[in-house]
Amino acid sequence: MRKVNNQSSHNKVAFIHKNPQTQSTLNEKWKKESITELFELPFNDLIFKAHKVHIENFDPNTVQLSTLLSIKTGGCSEDCGYCPQSARFSTDVENEPMMQLSDVIEAAKAAKVSGATRFCMGAAWRSPKDKDLKKVTEMIVAVKSIGLESCATLGMLKDGQAAELKAAGLDYYNHNLDTAPELYGDIISTRTYQDRLDTLKRVREVDINVCCGGIIGLGETRQGRVGLIHQLSNMDKPPESVPINLLTQVEGTPLMGTQDLDHFEFIRTIAIARITMPKSYIRLSAGREMMDDGIQALAFFAGANSIFYGEELLTTENPSTLRDQELFKRLGLKTN
């Protein structure tokens, strides 16, 4: 049993490390000032604007379903302040070695039966060892043969590793920027923003679709959220898939006790991701378990068109497939 408790409490200063990062240079399509102005719009004006962008680019009544599986759980060397899988924090997560191929196949088949179209395999690694990567490539081949799109999130990739994943047929690589560059060192000290950008470059170079987003509700100010969107939307090619996670607070992690983010601010962030990245899939990710149906409905209106679907994320709970199916029915949403 590795499901962990995600309770939250209030009024704790969130940031833990002090290790300022330098800002990368961007070819600016979206200026911080313009993104800030979007955040400052009246809520109704903002979500109306976002919905207009949404309907110009997507069928607003269709949601893409991705199912997650943790193929290697816990015991991670990194110190990401939000993560229950870091070996440095004392959480209820039980470490588990890499899963057997046959168990992954079983989980992928079950995801397909439930209606998912993409299967995302996550590993609690700083970066994969070559022998581990080989096993993951076998999993990718198997997932593809079931008729699912494949996605993997394995940490930082070295030269050559992205090409191996591509050769196995990997469709998407998930690697999040997590927050604004200037805040990154407050949340993670064991790697840099530039490390993340370097891996994303390697993924792009071999033509694997990029899944890249972040976490909000880390205790950042609105300017922090502006900084994250500024990075994502100004990438040479914006990510095809943008997961927006709301911090899931886990007992034992340094960010446990962070002040909860107003859910309307979460919706604003979804709307601004939609406006600034009109052709990307914007995914409601961690945090749906804490959202009521009304907030999720608003998120779909504001431009979210993908979710993590299945009872579990990596180590924490997600809404049941039954609850999601009922919500889709009530909202007249189709899935793919």
To ligand DTB, the closest distance from the beta carbon of 285 in angstroms equals 4
83 is catalytic: yes
Token pair 């990307």 is found at 280
245 touching ligand SAM, by CB under 6 A: yes
Alpha-carbon gap, residue 267 to 216, rounded angstroms:
11
Q: 257: which 2 tokens? A: 């006790």
Alpha-carbon gap, residue 101 to 108, rounded angstroms:
11
319 touching ligand DTB, by CB under 6 A: no
Residue 315 binds which of ligand DTB, ligand SAM, ligand SF4, none (CB < 5-8 A, kind-dependent): ligand DTB
| Element housing 171 (H / E) | none
| Residues between 205 and 234 with contacts to ligand SAM, criterion CB under 6 A | 215
| Element housing 133 (H / E) | helix 130-146
Minimum CB distance to ligand SF4 smaller for 248 or for 280: 248
For the chain, helix (H) and strand (E) counts, in that order, are 11, 10
| Residues between 124 and 153 with contacts to ligand SF4, criterion CB under 6 A | 124, 126
76 touching ligand SF4, by CB under 6 A: yes
Burial class (CB within 10 angstroms; exposed 0-12, middle 13-18, buried 19+) of 141 = middle
Alpha-carbon gap, residue 102 to 109, rounded angstroms:
11
155 touching ligand SAM, by CB under 6 A: yes
Give the strand pairing for 62-72 and 118-123: parallel
231 touching ligand DTB, by CB under 6 A: no
153 touching ligand SAM, by CB under 6 A: yes
212 is catalytic: no
283 is catalytic: yes
Among 74, 128, 155, 213, binds ligand DTB (CB under 6 A): 213
Q: 219: which 2 tokens? A: 């205790």
Binding residues for ligand DTB (CB under 6 A): 68, 84, 122, 153, 174, 176, 213, 243, 245, 248, 285-286, 313-316
Q: Supply the residues annotated as catalytic.
A: 76, 80, 83, 120, 151, 211, 283
